[in-house]
Chains A and B, each alone.
Chain A
Amino acid sequence: MVPYVSSSDPFPERQERVFPRFVTTLAFVGALAYAAVVGGGEGAEAGPLIPMGFRLQNVAPEVGVDFVHRKPEFDPRIDNIGAHVAALGASVSIADVDRNGWPDLYFTNSRFEEPNALYLNEGGTFREAARGFGVADLNREGEGVSMGAVWGDYDNDGWEDLLVYKYGYPQLLRNMQGRLFQDVTEGMGLRRWMNSNGAVWIDYDRDGLLDLYVAGYFREEIDLWNLESTRIFHDSFEFARNGGVNRLFRNTGEGFLDVTTEMGVGSTRWTLAVAAADFDGDGWTDLYLANDYGPEELYLNRWGEGFVLEAAGLRDDSKSGMSVSLGDVENRGRLDVYVTNISERGYLFQGNNLRLNQLPEYGRFQEVAEGPVADAGWAWGAQFGDLNNDGRLELFVTNGFISADPEEDYWYGMSMIGGASGRIIEDALNWPDIGSASLSGYERSRLLLRDTTGRFVDVAEWAGVGDTYDGRAVVFADLFNRGVQDVIVANQGGPALIYRNRVSDGGNWVGLELEGTTSNRSAIGAEVTVEWAGGRLRKVVDGGMGFASQNDRRLHFGLGAAVRTGLVSIRWPSGRLQELDGLDAGGWHRVREPDRPFTPVGERPRGG
């Protein structure tokens, strides 16, 4: 006889009462029915027919953008999991390269001999000009392949320069007055093999020169085309620290110095994305990291003398961070954080994180994602933007990991290796053969809009977004200078999409184009809060945000019915605070940083 019970059953059947048991049975069936109805659908919540005020349409072919991304191919020794390793590299970033007043587009490619593309915006139509500008042929054997790019005027000459990060040697390309680019990587001290999926420009020491933070993914000694060992992967799906080193390079004006160790920002988690902003409101730009196989990390900048890794409620929440985007979600004049993760029906619900910034009050973020904000499939790049100019932010989320044979699904294989111990996981040869299987493939992009109750609902289908490519990067920009935000998507192994926004019932808007003087000339890191009757919104000039992407650094604000702004506060990267009042709606305003003396915000306390 077995001496114990793990599930008590202390009463014989005959002592039971019939009616109560009948009632209990009804409740039991009801509970099961509830579970089936609430949790048995197709997952992501579909939005109702609510007024949107805009509609998107892919016009890439019509406006001359015909870019198609090509995936990389690596050492055949890891062919069993090659499709997984080769699933990154499509990126898009925006800058006005030739200063003609129209934002241009740069897409990266990820296979040897396949060119990157620079589409010059010529008044609403695009001309591909990468080869002529010297930014096309960057994917070469022995040099590596492109994973993404960020624009920034590192030498303050008024022309946006280009940093292309790679699985391989990164390349810094100096913009020679909008005519061509010169490779200055070696001379500027940046020729160092890194397997990187993200980078951001940041003036962390407020010296007016853009510094550079480059995220490492695979370790630096790994050459994915000539592997010395197949032990290249993470050693945990949740707490891995065996990734490549993230590096901070200080811009001295003569070159870039590696100050990673001194500044304390050398995370070896598997960082996929980085964003920079002043999260704690002390006047110094901080770093926020989305890490694959680990918790997110917040590095708070201490007066430019070093960074402190802050818990901020992030350490307890280990997921698979893919992208980090910033937006003033609740119109509080505060930058909140959205980090994408993985959700797959029946297998895994990590959930995306929407973290409301409560650092100044409570020293932490509050995670509030639910519904379609939390579950957007295997989500990648995401961005906030006001698509209908009502003053509230919408959220565009790309997704889908590997779209191959739709009849074969690798999720079962993933679930096997996902439960393994680290020594098993880190060797690529232990992974089940992915073959031609899909892995969270053919997912449709999400477009989330606030309904009348304030909840985000998915309106992608109604807004004209129906693509099911493997989306990676997404950016917002007013491509046609109409005062509305258009959406550009880079797809892995797929065509670039240009979603032109047609605002049918839109509100007013105001745009700001900043130019630093004491600050870096690109004004990257400047934070602007615009107030108007009935609202306010904060934005940051983007030095790289989302996944493998960079938005237009011009800032666009929807104003709803307001015809003028109220107070406009600009916190320049130098620490200067500038206030403007009553800007007219309906146009772009160029604001140059005043060059008179000032008292910077956030000075280190004396004796501190």
Chain B
Amino acid sequence: MGSADVYPRDALRLIGTWLTVLSPKWLIAILVTTILVLGEWQYQILGGYERLAVTLSVCVATEYLLSIFIRGRPASLQSAYISGVSLALLTKPQSNILWPFAIGAFVAISSKYVLRFRGRHLWNPTNFAISALVLLAPAQVAVLSHQWGNDPATNAVIWVVGLLVVTRARVLHVTFSYLGAFLALAWIRSLIVGTPFLAEIAPVTGPMYQLFIFFMVTDPRTTVATRRGRILVAVLVAVVEFGIRLAGNYHIDVLTPLYYSPPILALAMVGPTAMWWDLRRRPAR
């Protein structure tokens, strides 16, 4: 047996070992980087490298400077990297403007230092920034609406890496709770409205939802402490999203800003509320 036969098996074993010992925070950085690289390589998902450069640099610089400015010593920059990449992927503004990336990056990171309760920040930074941009600046900013070019292989890679990460991070129950609730409620909505079921579940196959279910709704720093509570929060996010989508089906005009990105806005409403409620119940630090 030649070395060429052995090498791939050893390499796979090495990668497997590496993935099991690597901290989940690194894994999520790998996941988001995988989405970035695949999306850009295959589908030019970024829309320009300058967008990534601005978002990443503002995220990292803001994290570094604010942590020194407010707390006196620098914080780890891993989460700023994750926020930066995900913001660059999710933010889809008008052509040739960069301010949404700079402002979004600053708002995301600074929200962790400003919007706090009992020593914890309430919103997932990316979730807050995207929600703020879409609600405040809809004339120039929208959210990623791409799909993976009808390529099952790309989808499979993202799902495999994503499931690996959430399993390793022990938040698979959050992903599955949200996904199960979303699918069940989509079916109910389909029955109520008469919309094709496939149309109702269609968004799940796109990268926006994959970013959402693998590391936004699962973010443990912005959800409740207990496993049961996290499942409940995930289901509640799906329920609020169901309400938004049902309103969208019926063209309720006053709620139009919520239709731009139902899952992200549902999480922005449910997540901090649950967190606040949970923190209130805990003894003060």
Residues on B with beta carbons closer than 8 Å to the beta carbon of A425: 202
Residues on A with beta carbons closer than 8 Å to the beta carbon of B145: 347-348, 415, 418-419
CB distance B259 to A9 under 8 Å? no
CB distance B149 to A432 under 8 Å? no
CB distance A235 to B79 under 8 Å? no
Which B residue's beta carbon lies closest to that of A236? B150
Contact flags A12-43 to B (C-beta < 8 A → 1, else 0): 11111100110111011001101110111111
The complex places the Cα of A149 from the Cα of B161 at a distance, in Å, of 52
Q: Does B182 have its Cβ within 8 Å of any Cβ on chain A? A: no
Residues on A with beta carbons closer than 8 Å to the beta carbon of B256: 346, 409
Residues on B with beta carbons closer than 8 Å to the beta carbon of A344: 142
CB distance A429 to B138 under 8 Å? no
CB distance A5 to B221 under 8 Å? yes
The complex places the Cα of A34 from the Cα of B92 at a distance, in Å, of 18
Given A7-B219, A345-B138, answer yes or no on A412-B259 (Cβ-Cβ < 8 Å).
yes
Residues on A with beta carbons closer than 8 Å to the beta carbon of B253: 407, 409
Q: Does A588 have its Cβ within 8 Å of any Cβ on chain B? A: no
Residues on B with beta carbons closer than 8 Å to the beta carbon of A323: none
CB distance A346 to B170 under 8 Å? no
CB distance B140 to A6 under 8 Å? no
Which B residue's beta carbon lies closest to that of A2? B220
Residues on B with beta carbons closer than 8 Å to the beta carbon of A40: 136-139
Binds B, one of A58-66, A201-209, A364-372: A364-372
Which A residue's beta carbon lies closest to that of B125? A7
Interface residues in B, total, Cβ within 8 A: 93
The A/B interface has a contact count, at CB < 8 Å, of 270
Residues on A with beta carbons closer than 8 Å to the beta carbon of B97: 370
Q: Does A254 have its Cβ within 8 Å of any Cβ on chain B? A: no
CB distance A36 to B136 under 8 Å? yes
CB distance A24 to B124 under 8 Å? no
CB distance A416 to B43 under 8 Å? no
CB distance A3 to B24 under 8 Å? yes
Given A2-B169, A4-B220, A6-B221, answer yes or no on A416-B200 (Cβ-Cβ < 8 Å).
yes
The complex places the Cα of A517 from the Cα of B156 at a distance, in Å, of 61
CB distance A6 to B215 under 8 Å? yes
Residues on B with beta carbons closer than 8 Å to the beta carbon of A345: 138-139
CB distance A20 to B69 under 8 Å? yes
Given A4-B24, A6-B25, A7-B222, answer yes or no on A409-B150 (Cβ-Cβ < 8 Å).
no
CB distance B147 to A20 under 8 Å? no
Q: Does B78 have its Cβ within 8 Å of any Cβ on chain A? A: yes
- Nearest CB in chain A: distance from B186 CB, A: 10
Which A residue's beta carbon lies closest to that of B251? A408
The complex places the Cα of A343 from the Cα of B208 at a distance, in Å, of 19
Contact flags B215-245 to A (C-beta < 8 A → 1, else 0): 1001111100000000000000000000001
One of A8, A20, A317 near B78 (C-beta < 8 A): A8
- Nearest CB in chain B: distance from A11 CB, A: 4
Residues on B with beta carbons closer than 8 Å to the beta carbon of A36: 136-137
Q: Does A422 have its Cβ within 8 Å of any Cβ on chain B? A: yes
CB distance B103 to A420 under 8 Å? no
CB distance A368 to B169 under 8 Å? no
Q: Does B280 have its Cβ within 8 Å of any Cβ on chain A? A: no
Q: Does A261 have its Cβ within 8 Å of any Cβ on chain B? A: no
Q: Does B171 have its Cβ within 8 Å of any Cβ on chain A? A: yes
Q: Does B36 have its Cβ within 8 Å of any Cβ on chain A? A: no
- Nearest CB in chain A: distance from B125 CB, A: 5
Residues on B with beta carbons closer than 8 Å to the beta carbon of A422: 147, 149-150
Among B195-209, those with CB < 8 Å from A are 195-196, 198-200, 202-203, 205-206, 208-209
Given A3-B170, A6-B82, A28-B107, answer yes or no on A431-B199 (Cβ-Cβ < 8 Å).
yes
For this complex, 11 residue pairs linking A to B, each with C-beta atoms less than 8 Å apart, are: A6-B79, A6-B218, A21-B70, A28-B111, A236-B149, A346-B142, A367-B95, A417-B199, A419-B205, A421-B155, A429-B196
5 nearest A-B residue pairs (beta carbon): A39-B137, A422-B150, A420-B202, A351-B95, A4-B24
Chain A residues proximal to chain B, CB less than 8 Å: 2-17, 20-21, 23-25, 27-28, 31-32, 34-36, 38-43, 235-239, 316-318, 343-349, 351-353, 367-370, 374-375, 407-409, 411-413, 415-425, 429-433, 437
